[in-house]
Structure 1
Amino acid sequence: DQPIINHRLRKAALDGASVMALNPIDYEFNFPLDYKIIAAPNSITRELSAILKAVIKLSGEKVETAITKLLKDVTINKTHRAIADTLFNSDDAIVLLGNFTTTHPQLALLRTLSGEIAKLTHSKLGYLSEAVNSSGAWLAGAVPHRLAGGIKNSNIGLSSHEMLAQKLKAYLLLGVEPELDCWDTRIAQQAMQDADLVVALTAFQSEALNSYADVLLPIATFAETSGTYINNEGTVQCFNGAVPPQGEARPAWKVLRVLGNSFNVDGFDYESSTEVCDESIKAIGKIEGDNTDQWQLTVTAGAKKQGLQRITETPMNMIDSLTRRATSLQKTNDVADGAIHINSTLAEKNKLSNADDATVEQDKQQVTMKVIVDERVPDNCVLIQSAHPSQSELGGAFGSIKIGKR
């Protein structure tokens, strides 16, 4: 789903670099992997803990007492040792956290474990961010606890999940379709339906938006406005709109400016997006490609096994409202299929096959989905692709799930 970094990894692998993976899905890479571990989401922390324990033994260094206690009962196998040894004995290594990590319920623990591995093996630490401007959003302070440049926010706000779970009276949506885009689509839909006011800044109408939004304000797509991206390397990339917005649509920043002025809110007097960018870049300062410091050590117990586990992935042609409406992209294989993917062992256990429909239950919500037998999926796991209407009534992207023959 990230072709540029994939190209670089492939070139490195073909030049002799060692590439190793810890994933919940056995993906087919277009370059060789030296080692791989495929594990259920609730086992990922345990597998990463085992790699860290092997690294600690190689380094001989002391770690925090809390980490020592966490690793006490962790068992190391030969794959954990091989991965640890490869990282420890490499002169130029990097530990990359991907999309499954950043959406995992135990991200803080995974980040702590990865950070310790990187520190003890003298490796770099990086992220394969979810979206094209995730790095820019973090640096610009589009998070509840930070201002631009990483300055601590004394007035900490709510995360998007907290906003939805607390069922606020009003919501302002910016280019998002909650029933398709959110981590827990069921909670998102319920929050929209229960709110007194929902205002959606959107480039598209939909039946769902019309059902809960009180006001739709048309905005331009990314190609119809100027703006700035900051990629994973920290490179600032500014651009202009390629074509004018359609109809009465306006760039989202202009709509927000008008709304801010209408409410007499300070800080909404910008005349161009360039002014916004210049102010943000000044606050951000020099961008350092270093994720190793300024992270609070978080050590909690790993997840306990809870029956069948849901795995959720978002195909690259389903990532936003624009790609989901691109006719050509929707004819490719990289779209959500509205099915559950299970391996043959789980299929046989539940007397299911490719020709069947299955009942799928999560958080006391039940839907019917078709079955695809997929050997990439580990035992006791169910892979569901997000951003498809068939799964919008279920719960979070990870967690316990039940399936049965319809």
Structure 2
Amino acid sequence: MNDLAITVLLVGTLFVILGSSVWIGLTLSGVAWIGMQLFSARPAGDAMAVTIWGSSSSWTLTALPLFIWMGEILFRTKLSDSMFRGLAPWVSRLPGSLLHTNVIGCTIFAAVSGSSAATCATIGKMTLPELARRGYPEDITIGSLAGAGTLGLLIPPSIIMIVYGVSADVSISKLFIAGVFPGMLLAGLFSGYIIIWALLHKGAIPKSGEKMTFLQKLFESRHLIPVMLLIGSVLGSIYSGLATATEAAAVGVVGSLILSACQQSLSWQSFRDALLGATRLYCMIALILAGAAFLTLAMGYIGLPRHLAEYVGSLGLSPLMLIIALAIFYIILGCFLDGISMVVLTMGVILPTVQAAHIDLLWFGIFIVIVVEMAQITPPVGFNLFVLQGMTGKEITYIARVTFPFFLLMCLMVLLLWFFPGIVVWLPANM
């Protein structure tokens, strides 16, 4: 069989098994086993055992369950209430007023969570009832929250960055540093859109409440101190070189436990729920990573990545056209798979092509994170859409429609990164 026929057979098998509701990790392993058994000389069983053990025992991957656990602990604290009280006085005079708490709150929580869904859910539980009570329009409230919730993937520490770093053999610490400026810029684009929207719909935004003096605002900002200390301890330990990403994750867990205890939200029940929640989520991710590692090995033995890279190279695509094609590919793929599955499923095939085009893998990692963010708000498998559907009871098509302007802002962000790559690479190169 030629490469095209093998590719069609394996992709078809993949979607058939996925359509049968088999777990994604087992599906990837099954497709890899079929590919190796039929189209390579190496015994599939031996390769599966060695590869899955090797991928599961990676020291770098240890950071992933720790950051997940940290997010689960913080999810059960009073952090969200404190953030709202600290942020609200500073944004009340901006066009859009308290709508900016969605963006700023998600930006801050993203720096201690690493999960898009956790960021969206935590901030949404705080802002949605409050903004609805104050009479803010439902469409822009939900849309801004869905868009800003995706910052949980871009602003370090980020679970998807850890997954990409392991898959592409790129420094996770450098990925974290590289995500800072793009994350701040994207948050700025979101807030800028809210300002423009508010100026065009002046009657839609309720008037702000009582005016506060500068000193009163500073006094209310004391509620931000705990979260800022936690962010400083996690990211500061990485950027200063005192800790690796894995060690910083351990610092974050200890810090979140201390914060939870200080807020009197740490109990045996909350500790147990956070630990079990992190264990369940990590086991799912680890199974996907193990299956993807085996699939990557199988594709290597079959030779599909090399042949695909040669085919794409023969098309004569410029690097920009390649990036545009990959962005479209990942957006379409995001309609059917979650972000982690997208990354681990495709890296083995995509990376040789990207390297052949002389695209910086550090820059490409941030690009991947942004297009995966887009997938978080594209139906039918947009995780943020599911989160908001459960919180608001709205149809997923309605949520996708009100979120679409923020999807377009992410497209703009990809173009800005391409034409100004220093947004990504300058900070890691100068740390």
Of Structure 1 and Structure 2, the greater strand share is in 1
TM-score, with length taken from structure 2:
0.26
TM-score, with length taken from structure 1:
0.28
Of Structure 1 and Structure 2, the greater helix share is in 2
